[in-house]
Amino acid sequence: MDLKNGSVVTEFILLGFSGQWELRIFFFVTFSLIYSATVLGNVLIMVTVTFSSTLHSPMYFLLGNLSFLDMCLSTVTTPKMITDLLSEHKIISIWGCMTQMFFMHFFGGAEMTLLIAMAFDRYVAICKPLHYRTIMSHRLLSGFMILSWIIGFIHTMSQMVLTVNLPFCGPNVIDNIFCDLPLVIKLACMETYTLELFVIADSGLLSFICFILLLVSYIVILITVQQKSSGGLSKALSTLSAHMIVVTLFFGPCIFIYAWPFNSFSGNKVLAVFYTVFTPLLNPIIYTLRNQKMKEAMRKLQFQNVIST
Q: For the domain that residue 227 is a member of, what is the CATH number?
A: 1.20.1070.10
Q: What percent of the chain has pLDDT over 90?
A: 29
Report, in angstroms and rounded to the nearest whole number, the Rg of the chain calculated over CA atoms. Answer: 21
Q: Is the pLDDT of residue 5 over 70?
A: no
Give the HSE-up count for residue 166: Cα atoms under 13 Å, Cβ half-sphere.
29
What is the C-alpha separation between 265 and 246, in angstroms, rounded? 25
For residues 241-260, average pLDDT = 73
Q: Is the pLDDT of residue 306 over 80?
A: no
Report which listed range, 67-71, 211-215, 305-309, is most confident.
67-71
Contact 261, 199 (CB under 8 A): yes
Decide if pLDDT at 215 tops 60. Answer: yes
Q: Which residue range(s) make up the domain with 15?
A: 11-308
Q: Stretch 174-182: mean pLDDT, rounded?
A: 86
Question: Per this entry, what is the length of the chain?
Answer: 309
5 located within any domain: no
Could you tell me the strand order of the sheet in which 91-93 lies? 91-93, 11-14, 173-174
Q: Which amino acid is at 235?
A: K
113-136: average pLDDT: 88
The whole-number average pLDDT for the span 122-148 is 90
Domain count, the chain: 1
pLDDT above 60 for 6? no
Residues 6+ apart with CB under 8 A from 13: 89, 90, 91, 172, 173, 174
Q: What whole-number distance in Å separates Cα of residue 237 and Cα of residue 117? A: 18
Residue 2, in any domain of the structure? no
226 pLDDT more than 70: yes
The identity of residue 205, as a single letter, is L
Question: Residues 65, 145: contact at Cβ < 8 Å?
Answer: yes
Contact 122, 77 (CB under 8 A): no
Which residues are CB-contacts of 109 (< 8 A; sequence separation ≥ 6)? 151, 152, 153, 154, 155, 156, 206
* Structural domain includes residue 288: yes
Residue 196 clears pLDDT 90, i.e. is over it = no
Range list of H helices, 52-93: 58-84
Higher pLDDT, 56 or 99: 99
Tell me how crowded residue 258 is: count the other CB atoms within 10 A of its CB: 22
Q: How confident is the model at residue 125 (pLDDT cuts 50, 70, 90)?
A: confident
Q: Per-residue confidence at 2, pLDDT binned at 50, 70, 90? A: very low
The confidence score (pLDDT) of residue 165 equals 86
Q: Residue 6 domain-assigned?
A: no
CA distance 155 to 210: 13
Residue 92 lies in a domain: yes
| Structure confidence at residue 199 as a pLDDT band (50, 70, 90) | confident
Residue 156 domain-assigned?
yes
| Residue 54 within any structural domain of the chain | yes
Query: What is the model's pTM?
Result: 0.86
Please report whether residue 3 resides in a domain. no
Give 300 or 303, the one with higher predicted confidence.
Answer: 300
